[in-house]
A = this chain, B = another copy of it.
Amino acid sequence: AMRMQVSLREISWLLFVFFSSDIEISRAQSPKAVDVLAKEIGLLTDEIEIYGQTKAKVRLSLLERLKDQPDGKYVLVAGITPTPLGEGKSTVTVGLVQALTAHLNINSFACLRQPSQGPTFGVKGGAAGGGYAQVIPMEEFNLHLTGDIHAITAANNLLAAAIDARILHENTQSDKSLYNRLVPVVNGVRGFSAIQLARLRRLGINKTDPKTLTEEEISKFVRLDIDPSTITWQRVVDTNDRFLRRITVGQANTEKGFVRQAQFDIAVASEIMAILALTTSLQDMKERLGRMVVANDKKGQPVTAEDLGVTGALAVLMKDAIKPTLMQTLEGTPVFVHAGPFANIAHGNSSVLADKIALKLVGEKGFVVTEAGFGADIGMEKFFNIKCRASGLVPSVVVLVATVRALKMHGGGPNVTAGAPLKKEYTEENLQLVADGCCNLQKQIQITQLFGVPVVVALNVFKTDSPAEIDLVCKIAKESGAFDAVPCHHWSAGGKGAVKLAQAVEKAANQKNSFKYLYSLELPIVEKIRIIAQKVYGAQDIELSPAAQSQVDRYTRQGFGNLPICMAKTHLSLSHQPERKGVPTGFILPISDVRASIGAGFIYPLVGTMSTMPGLPTRPCFYDIDLDPITEQVKGLF
């Protein structure tokens, strides 16, 4: 169990810092050494791997040691449909655990996602929380951290390179030549590697001596016979590089004319990121990596990473990434950082493993607070239907984050754009806009209630919000079915500003909980998509493109029909049209394409024209980012 020590120094320093940027606030508080933190929360010395002074990876052996410990309460922070600026789910998550642990003396853990470097250097900035509710040091959190996303990128791209190289080699060599190269004589002996023996077994060839295969068996063994037009595995970078959205590869002479169109996705959209978030053990991760389908062969059968012989190498590249990273909040309480964001084009939830370990560490009366990206219609829906299915965990409470700013936008306020100053509607009291916009809050509450979990609304208060606006939101939220609705001031006051939220969450966690999934896995793929579209988004119906329909048919035929659904949909509207705010109705949701992430374990429909690669704006964040070469301090990250 945890024995958190929050020192007077850690609390009282708040009195000394007043007008400061996020990074200045982060820097003003020196984090305790991570080994001290680890000891406070009950970890043994050999259960952590320290990375610098302030980060440590936590070994999975912990789960085995604590397996008889009862789990704590499990809280999900979700949100209303956000503006492009974000409404502060991360700050609420951090503020809530600071309140629970540092102010109410209840063990708690925040489980956050590692930010992508795309937005950090692109348009949105980092994701460490902000103000007095941050993960520190925020520059470590926002940069390479412990390298998980880099490991995912390396693994993803090794597989991509293996696919194209294999097609080239098969196209330019005879069966015999392929066989001689794939099964070479080493020190006078010719033998199959373990992964090749496994492939032989899958092909129904029960032989282990390379000399005994018939010509037909050799041909079956050496040819994956990938149909290049069916390749769904894409390369990734963790950079907003819009020019890689559609490319042609293979144009050097050495590739002998085998050109094809391809694309790069942002790294956090990689299926390997989804696997990292959903896996429950090293064994499970390795099996999932091997199951990933990258293309079909010319007979329409799925070709997997395992067929390409790369499962073991992928697992090796991911062996450290599977361990959650331990950090701390500004008030010295523990945080796990694991897996990645982008609940629009991925499932965008932090990891099952981090949540499970944290639930053991906090003990039965403790709280684990995790976060689902963007609005509850996407991040939370995926949390329940995908992540909770993978983990078997049952959430106790949903905290739904709202801001007066976003509600005014839903009520008909002018456009909110990153980089442009806010219009006066957002900085002056306007009760009508707030009242009109609460339809979105009400809808997101209703969505939460579909899953049978009590919901507490957290109004993330900005200094320009008026008391009347705040009261109005809380009143409407409670009338709409929220268990409670509480204004929060963690940004300006740290954990102290979220004590009322913490009390409401604690109370809600003791409510009767009738958690249920939204759909049965046994339903046909199209039916599952329709249920999400109608019950969650409020669509009138769905419409599949011919390409999408044919993919659905193929996946069903291949036996992948019983997977949950991970929708790729804009986060800026409940519908597929980002400009439609509030609660859009009467729309037909267009499904332009359907992919399958068999290793992660979900079907992945693309709604409308979703891009899986963000771009850099005219003036990216990096203009303000700098390093002082003398003090080694980072400036301009936020």
Contact = CB atoms under 8 A, between A and B. Distances in A.
A239 interface: yes
B627 A286 contact: yes
26 contacts: A49-B53, A50-B50, A117-B154, A144-B154, A144-B317, A161-B240, A161-B241, A162-B622, A165-B616, A169-B617, A181-B419, A182-B618, A182-B623, A194-B626, A235-B241, A243-B255, A246-B251, A247-B250, A248-B248, A282-B627, A285-B629, A309-B620, A312-B627, A313-B622, A316-B634, A319-B627
Interface in A489-510: none
A617 B313 CA distance: 15
Interface stretch (A185-193, A346-354, A542-550): A185-193
B162 A616 contact: yes
A320 interface: yes
Interface in A610-638: 611, 615-627, 629-630, 632, 634-637
Interface in A272-294: 281-283, 285-286
The residue among A184, A619, A622, A634 with the most chain B CB atoms within 10 A of its own CB is A622
A540 to B, nearest CB: 28
A255 B251 contact: no
A239 B49 contact: no
Contacts of A450: none
Contacts of A635: 312
Given A282-B629, A622-B313, A626-B194, A419 B53 contact: no
B619 A182 contact: yes
Given A243-B161, A319-B632, A238 B286 contact: no
Interface centre among A250, A611, A625 (most CB of B within 10 A): A625
A252 interface: yes
Given A52-B51, A188-B421, A255-B243, A316 B619 contact: no
A319 B137 CA distance: 14
Q: What are the nearest 8 A-B pairs in CB distance? A: A312-B626, A150-B150, A313-B622, A245-B252, A161-B241, A181-B618, A283-B629, A165-B616
A194 B636 CA distance: 11
A251 B241 contact: no
A526 interface: no
B178 A618 contact: yes
A501 B440 CA distance: 77
B184 A420 contact: yes
Given A184-B419, A247-B249, A634-B316, A622 B165 contact: no
A121 interface: yes
A151 interface: yes
A332 B282 CA distance: 30
Give the oligomeric copy count. Answer: 2
B315 A627 contact: yes
Contacts of A247: 247-251
A446 B460 CA distance: 74
Contacts of A240: 161, 165
A45 B316 CA distance: 31
Contacts of A158: 117, 121, 239, 622
A244 interface: yes
A12 interface: no
Contacts of A636: 312
Given A312-B625, A616-B162, A154 B239 contact: yes
A157 interface: yes
A246 B241 contact: no
Contacts of A160: 239, 241
Given A162-B620, A312-B626, 8 more contacts: A50-B52, A117-B317, A154-B239, A161-B241, A162-B616, A182-B619, A281-B629, A316-B637
